[in-house]
Structure 1
Amino acid sequence: MSKIAIIVDSSSYIPHKVQLAKHIYVADNPVLFGRKVYHESHWPVNAAFYKQMAASSVQPTTSQPSIGDLMAIFDQVKKDGYDQAILVTLSSGFSGTYQAAFAAAAQYQDLDVHVWDSRIATMGAGNQALLASDLAEKGWQMADILEKLRLLRDRTSVFFVVNSIKHLQRTGRLSGGQALIAGLLSIKPILNIDPSKDGKIVAVAKERKMTGAWKYIEENFGKIVEGYAHSNWPMRVTIVDADNPTLADSWVEKGKALWPDIVFERGIIGPLIGVHTGEKAVGFIWAQDYKTLED
């Protein structure tokens, strides 16, 4: 067993089997429907959350894991024989989870915990945790793992498309691009998070249909692929969806056909992030393939 444990908050959406195989600890994020507090693990089938969200007269909100919950995980990590840990959180640009984790780590005396701001979410953060897990298992030291995480974070970004802007407006998670907002209510906004900057959500374009959103991604991602190829950074793309699997699967197939040298995989937009994106959102996350950073 390596001396460095890896902890994530549950919005990384690393598949459960992978979490178990990699011995990754998970802080379960709270999701609130009015006064009723759930956690992301309450919905093992992702579609069930979106069904509840659509049927509820009270729209959900989110919070971050409590300091007590985080310290309970630190206790377990210490009990399991680790003396260091890396806690990978979703972006501090649109969540308080990083700050809560930092506060918990600062108060905990029996474990050296480094809190890592992924500056992104879902499998963009998940792949950073998987890279850290693989390197820790190989016996890498903390400083060297963090340097690799910095490289991966800076080479990660996303386009995502929401079916409606209303949830991002309701929860206050949209930053920048305010000139676009007035015209977004009846169309499909294309949004971006840039982890090499502040990890905030910004609107970059708007289309009337999901087919137009794909055309935008195809055109703009093609230019990105050229830049990564020039830098000799092999790529991995993760298509994630908020209960829109047919569209997400089609994006994977289109991507594989256009860019056969890129690794394509699937993931989800789970409850915590889905509160803000709403149902039917689809994300296109790209990065250097983390496996190529493990040597």
Structure 2
Amino acid sequence: MSKIAIIVDSSSYIPKDQLKKHHIYVIDNPIIFGETIYHEFNWPVNADFYQQMATTPIQPTTSQPAPGDFEAAFQAAKDDGYKQALVITLSSGFSGTFLNTSAIASSHSDIDIHVWDSRIACLGAGNQALLAAYLAEKGIGIDEILSKLQILRSRTGVFFVVDSISHLQRTGRLSGGQALVAGLLNIKPILNINTNKQGKIDAVAKTRKMSGAWRYIEKHFAKIADNYQRAGWPMRVSILDADNPELADAWLKRAEKRWPEIIFERGIIGPLVGVHIGGKAVGLIWAEDYKRLED
């Protein structure tokens, strides 16, 4: 067993077999439909959440996990013999989870808890957690793990396109580029998150169709891929969808054909993130391959 427990919130969407393999603890995020509180793991099939979201008259909201949920994860780690823990949260740029976790962690003296702001979500955060887990399993200390996470985070980025801007407007998660999309109907906003700044969601372009979004992303990602290749950073890219698997699979095929040297994988945009961006969204998260940083 490693000396450091790795804890994530459920919006990292790490596959369950990987959670089990690396003994990663999960704090399950609440999803609120009216007066009913669910959690992300209530929807083992991702499409079920989006079906419920599309058919209910009450649109869901999100909340940070309760203090007791954090305490339960910390206690589980202590019960399993850990003296240190590393908690990796979704971006503080659109969630208070990082600050809340930091405050709760500071009150513990019987376990040394470090909290890391991934400045992203989904597998962008999940791959940071997997890197930390691999390093912890090798006996690497917390300072070196945090140093490696800093490198990975700085080399992580995302483009994603949403089917409608309405959910981001409803939940107030769009921090920049409002003028780009304000007042426009039937558009597909293209957004990104800068992990080298505050990890906030910004609108960078707009298109009328999803096909136009891919053309924009392909053009701009090509420049990024060239820069990573020149720097000697092999890439791992996750293509994600919010109940839009056919389109995401099509993006994957096109990307694999154009960039055969890059590792591509599929992932999901789960309920917590889906509340804010809505169904049918598709995204592309790129980073230096975290497995390269294990050495």
> Normalising by structure 1, what TM-score?
0.99
Residue in structure 1 matched with residue 70 of structure 2 by the alignment? 70
The residue number in structure 2 matching 1:172 is 172
1:182 is displaced (CA, Å) by 2.1
1:168, distance to aligned residue in structure 2 (A):
0.3
Count of aligned residue pairs for this structure pair: 295
Asked whether the equivalents of residues 235 and 263 of structure 2 are also in contact (C-alpha less than 8 Å), the reply is: yes
**Does residue 135 of structure 1 match 2:135?**
yes
Distance 2:182 2:114 in 1: 41
**Cα distance between partner residues in 2 of 1:178 and 1:254:** 30
Distance in 1, Cα, partners of 2:179 & 2:253: 34
- 236-245 or 180-189, which deviates more: 180-189
User: Which residue does 1:276 correspond to in 2?
Assistant: 276
Cα distance in 1, alignment partners of residues 236 and 97 from structure 2: 26
| CA displacement, residues 127-172 of structure 1 (integer Å, 9 cap, x when unaligned) | 0000000000001000000000000000000000000000000000
Partner of 1:113: 113
Partners of 2:252 and 2:77 lie apart in 1 by 37
> How many angstroms does 1:103 deviate by?
1.4
Counterpart Cα distance in 1 of 2:207 and 2:266: 23
Q: Give me the whole-angstrom Cα distance separating, in 1, the residues matched to 2:116 and 2:216.
A: 32
Distance 1:76 1:125 in 2: 22
SS in 1 for 2:176: coil
Counterpart CA distance in 2 for 1:70 and 1:275 is 22
Shift of 1:181: 2.1
Deviation by residue 1:83-136 (Cα, 9 ceiling, x = unmatched): 101100000000111112111101122111100000000000000000000000
Mind listing any 5+ residue stretches in structure 2 that lack a counterpart?
A: none
On the 8 A contact 1:67/1:103 being kept in 2, the answer is no
Aligned: 1:195 with 2:190: no
In the superposition, the TM-score normalised over structure 2's length comes to 0.99
Residue aligning to 1:41? 41
**Unpaired segments ≥5 residues, structure 1:** none
User: Any idea what the Cα deviations from partners look like across 1:45-79, whole Å, max 9, x if unmatched?
Assistant: 00000010011111000011111110111011011
Amino acid in the other structure paired with 2:140: W
Q: Deviations over 1:27-49 (max 9, x none)?
A: 00000011111100100000000
Change in Cα spacing, 1:79 to 1:59, as seen in structure 2 (3 Å) is: same
1:92 partner SS: coil
Contact 2:234/2:289 (8 A) holds in 1: yes
* In 2: Cα distance, 1:11 partner to 1:100 partner: 16
**Matches of 2:57 and 2:237 in 1, distance apart?**
36
Q: AA paired with 1:14?
A: I
2 CA distance for matches of 1:184 and 1:103? 40
* CA distance, structure 1, for counterparts of residue 178 and residue 47 of structure 2: 31
Residues 176-201 of structure 1, C-alpha deviations (whole Å, 9 max, x = no match): 11221225431111000011110000
Kindly provide the amino acid, as one letter, of the partner of residue 129 in structure 2: A
Matched residue SS, 1:227: helix
Task: Give SS of 2:168's match.
Answer: helix
TM-superposition CA deviations, 1:216-264 (whole Å, max 9, x none): 0110000001111111100000001000000001111110000000000
Identity rate of aligned residues, in percent?
Answer: 66
3-state DSSP of counterpart to 2:199:
coil
Cα RMSD, aligned residues only: 0.7
